[in-house]
């Protein structure tokens, strides 16, 4: 991941986590997401089945703040970001999420909150999983 041509975060095998903080999110939402990220069995075992977690493979997390995940495009042609938390709420929850992932024993690299980041990804699969602490889907 680059900001102004400077590498600010890079990992090998692991997860690219695009983290959007909702206006209704709290500490318990961060705890839920950390538990899911650390324990989700989405890496292949020797039989090619999803049976290994990021912990099991010794993988890392690239954690990127992503308010645009809250872009609501149901009305009109321009997304509404009314559901995205303001920086004064989002930054502490983003930083706590990174700290809790590290406390769980994971290597965590982060971007720069609010910066324009160029993020490169090799998606093995492709596998993309949506997590929502509000369990809306």
Which contiguous run of DSSP H or E holds residue 31? helix 27-39
Residues 62, 17 contacting (CB under 8 angstroms):
yes
Catalytic-role residue among 68, 97, 110, 128: 68
Give the strands of the sheet with 60-65, arranged side by side. Answer: 14-19, 60-65, 107-110
Rounded CA gap, 19 and 85, in Å?
Answer: 11
List C-alpha distances in Å: 84 to 33, 51, 81, 135: 17, 33, 5, 17
Quick check: is 128 catalytic? Answer: no
Backbone torsions φ then ψ of 132, nearest 5 degrees: -140, 115
- Structure tokens, 58: 């010794």
Which residues are the active-site residues?
Answer: 68
């Amino acid at each position: 991941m680059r900001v102004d041509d400077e590498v600010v975060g890079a990992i090998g095998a692991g997860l690219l986590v695009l983290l959007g903080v909702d206006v209704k999110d709290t500490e318990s939402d961060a705890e839920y997401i950390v538990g899911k990220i650390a324990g989700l069995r989405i890496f292949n075992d020797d039989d090619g089945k999803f049976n290994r977690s990021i912990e099991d493979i010794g993988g890392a997390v690239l954690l990127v703040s992503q308010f645009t995940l809250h872009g609501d495009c149901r009305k009109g042609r321009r997304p509404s970001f009314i559901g995205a938390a303001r920086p004064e709420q989002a930054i502490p929850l983003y930083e706590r999420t990174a700290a809790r992932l590290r406390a769980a024993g994971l290597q965590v690299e982060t971007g720069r909150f609010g910066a324009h980041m160029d993020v490169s990804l090799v998606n093995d699969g492709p596998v993309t999983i949506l997590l929502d602490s509000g369990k809306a889907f």
